[in-house]
Structure 1
Amino acid sequence: MTVKIARIYDDSIPEGKRILVDRVWPRGISKAHAQLDEWLKDIAPSTELRQWFNHQDDLFKQFKEKYKKELQDNDEQAQAFNKLKHIIEESHQDVILLYAAKNTKYNQAIVLQELCTK
């Protein structure tokens, strides 16, 4: 069992337990098309952090540290992160963290994948 990430708009999303890790529902995606097992809205970065980062590559290192701090310090985010870890531990299949961002190299799903595979 591994933790993988995929953009929800991609045609070829790997098989597994599908978890959306965005706060806002992805534009143009129906719930039927998404085929989610879980939507962890509260695990997403705060609106303030997301807007500050704006998926700028040069800010990713700082974003990553600020996001990790949010996951520890914000009760709702911490609960959602603990739920994700529990889902991963209990799953008998790969877990796919889905996100909508256009930037496939620098986004919160990458941070979550890294934290969950340590």
Structure 2
Amino acid sequence: MIQCKRVYQGVEEEDGRRVLVDRLWPRGCSKAALQLHAWLPEVAPATELRRAFDHDPAAFAEFRRQYRAQLAGHPEHWQGLLALAEQGTLTLLFAARDSEHNNARVLAEFLEQELDRRADPSSPVCYADR
């Protein structure tokens, strides 16, 4: 399971592996107090893309499209996250105030689709007549 959570929310047992997926370290958070499994700034949107989006919900669709293209071009940045998600709960941490329009949501959706793509087919081919 992949979930998203603001970095400023408290740590919970249900969080599983906690990974910060922002390019910049969140303001007001000490590295010692955050309790992370990893910080992966390279999986975050490129600086130019992040600046162009500027947390504007009206620009989210284009941001989402461009960020997904960025992710597709660099599987080496996110493949380790798939392995963590397959082992248990993966919590993608983000600092943005908007809990719906942010890079962690796009990344979670992207990773869920990759996991679905890797999964075994849901119905086997029938060879009863052979």
Give the TM-score band, short-chain normalised.
0.7 to 0.9
Alignment pair present for 1:79 and 2:76: yes
2:90 is aligned, of 90, 95, 101, to 95
2:119 matched residue in structure 1 = none
Identity %: 38
Counterpart of 2:99 in structure 1: which amino acid? T
RMSD (CA atoms): 1.4
Q: TM-score, normalised by structure 1?
A: 0.87
Q: C-alpha offsets along residues 22-47 of structure 1, whole Å, 9 cap, x if unaligned?
A: 11111111122210001111000000
The aligned residue for residue 6 of structure 1 is: 5
Q: Is the 8 A contact 2:17 2:84 kept in 1?
A: no
Give 4+ residue runs of structure 1 displaced > 4 Å after superposition.
none
More contact order relative to length (CA 8 Å, sep ≥ 6): 1
Identify the range of structure 1 (4-13 vs 14-23) with the bigger mean alpha-carbon deviation. Answer: 4-13
- TM-score under structure 2 length normalisation: 0.80
